[in-house]
Amino acid sequence: MNLTLKVWRQKNIQDKGQFVTYQAKDIADDMSFLEMLDIVNDDLTRKGEDPVYFDHDCREGICGMCSLVINGRPHGPEYGTTTCQLHMRSFHDGQTIVIEPWRAAAFPVLKDLAVDRTSFERIQQAGGYVNVNTGGVPDANAIAIPKRIADEAFESATCIGCGACVAACKNASAMLFVSAKISQFALVPQGQTERYERAQSMVDQMDAEGFGNCTNTGACEAECPVGIKMTNIARMNREYYTAKLFREEDVHN
């Protein structure tokens, strides 16, 4: 198939940026979206032009690096799919595809389609870990956890940190991401020792990075490629207010 691409080009963080139109020719249905961009970049390189800069790593849907807004939707038109797992059979011959970077003040554009997501790393560093020695991996039946709780913790832990939830949200809220990272520890025994301090520290860092607030539109859940649920946000709010209202002394002693 042949496609018209309107691609966001931006030289650096200071540049205003603009859309540039390219033609993608002889694209096969079974190519991934990133392979299609590879072909466009090969053409640009052959012509001596600067290739389109975009983030990617695993190309298997697990690392969270790929990050394109495709025709207005983070990771494109398919539900539960990262950009690297999106295939060109989701588009049709002659279609125009608009490709933009994540748009959020806390994710400044570095170049073209790549944004700076180190704000997520700073939130993780604020508390997204267990700071005590929890020993070796216990036998599965040594710590009795109801299966429903174990499943919820596992589902929260599948967040790949891509930032599509922020890009989808009209407020650029990072609450789905942060709540998943808090929930994966809040639900299991190993995460209890720093439970309330973790919630306070990570939420405070999230606010300091300039992410917006949640107004329950649900866009984050709809666009999350791994299906993280908004129930995590409700849990994060409970963790945060419990720490603020009832455990302040414990947290700071």
Which residues are near ligand SF4 by CB under 6 A? 159-165, 176-177, 180, 224-226, 228
Give the position of tokens 């791994």: 226
Name which of residues 13 to 72 contact ligand FES (CB under 6 A): 56-59, 61-66
Q: How far is the CB of 159 from ligand SF4 (least distance, A)?
A: 3
d(CA 6, CA 180): 34
Nearer to ligand FES, 79 or 246 (CB): 79
Say what the alpha-carbon torsion angle 14, 108, 240, 238 is, to the nearest 10 degrees: 140
76 binds ligand FES (CB under 6 A): no
DSSP line for 31-48: SBHHHHHHHHHHHHHHTT
Q: How far is the CB of 162 from ligand FES (least distance, A)?
A: 7
How many residues of this chain interact with ligand FES, rule: CB under 6 A? Answer: 13
Q: What is the largest CA-CA distance in the chain?
A: 65
Contact mark string toward ligand FES, 127..166, x via CB under 6 A:
----------------------------------------
What region, left, alpha or beta, does residue 172 occupy, with left being phi > 0 and alpha being psi -120 to 50 degrees? Answer: left
Nearer to ligand FES, 161 or 204 (CB): 161
Question: Which segments of the chain are extended strands (E)?
Answer: 3-9, 18-24, 68-70, 73-74, 96-101, 109-111, 114-115
Q: How far is the CB of 221 from ligand SF4 (least distance, A)?
A: 8
Q: How far is the CB of 36 from ligand SF4 (least distance, A)?
A: 22
d(CA 230, CA 183): 11
Q: How far is the CB of 230 from ligand FES (least distance, A)?
A: 22
Give residues in contact with ligand FES (CB under 6 A).
56-59, 61-66, 82-84
